[in-house]
Amino acid sequence: MAEQTIAKVLSANDTGETGGHQAGILVPREKRLLSFFPELDATQYNPRCHLNFVDDGGTFWEFAFIYYNNKFFEGTRNEYRLTRMTKYIRQANLVPGDEIILMRDDEGRYRISHKRKQQTQRANGVLKLGTGWRVVEIQGGRR
């Protein structure tokens, strides 16, 4: 059975350590990342779907994948977010630098796991910044 896997290194904003009130984790508008999630109807106002994930311990988590598109409805936002993750992040005691790993099998079942940070990645003394997302290439079988 083949899986599609994506991963995100969590920022302080993602874990709530900055005190901001953002609506979930930003998902860049990159085709390879967005293909992991169900397609949302962009003609609707802020379309969303609820996704059920199971973690390594067998606990079920319901997250929401939302396209905040109110820019096209006299608003300002035009972004995808994965929301309702705060409880998972807190129960797993995740901190900035830890990575969440999202998997989807051929039958549309979702799993979530995480990996603790090994060390901060630095190049020439400068912290590398980016979206923190990556697509993990897996040919088949489970991780």
Is 143 part of a structural domain of the chain? no
Does any domain span residue 142?
no
So what's the pLDDT on residue 17?
81
Question: pTM (2 decimals)?
Answer: 0.80
In a domain, 18, yes or no: yes
- The rounded distance, in Å, linking the Cα atoms of 108 and 52 is 10
Q: What is the CATH number of the domain that holds 115?
A: 2.40.330.10
Q: Give the amino acid at 115.
A: K
The model's pLDDT over 10-55, given as tens digits with 9 standing for 90+, comes to: 998 888 887 776 668 999 999 999 999 999 999 999 999 999 999 9
Q: List all residues 6 or more positions away from 74 whose beta carbon is below 8 Å from its beta carbon.
A: none
Residue 56 lies in a domain: yes
Examine residue 116 and state whether it is found in any structural domain, yes or no: yes
Q: What's the number of domains the chain is made of?
A: 1
Q: Produce one character per residue of 51-65: b if its CB has 16 or more CB atoms within 10 Å, e if not.
A: bebeeeeeeebebeb
Q: Which domain holds residue 104?
A: 3-136
Residue 61 domain flag = yes
pLDDT digits (tens, 9 = 90+) for 100-132: 999 999 899 999 999 998 644 544 444 444 567
Look at residue 92 and tell me if it is in a domain.
Answer: yes
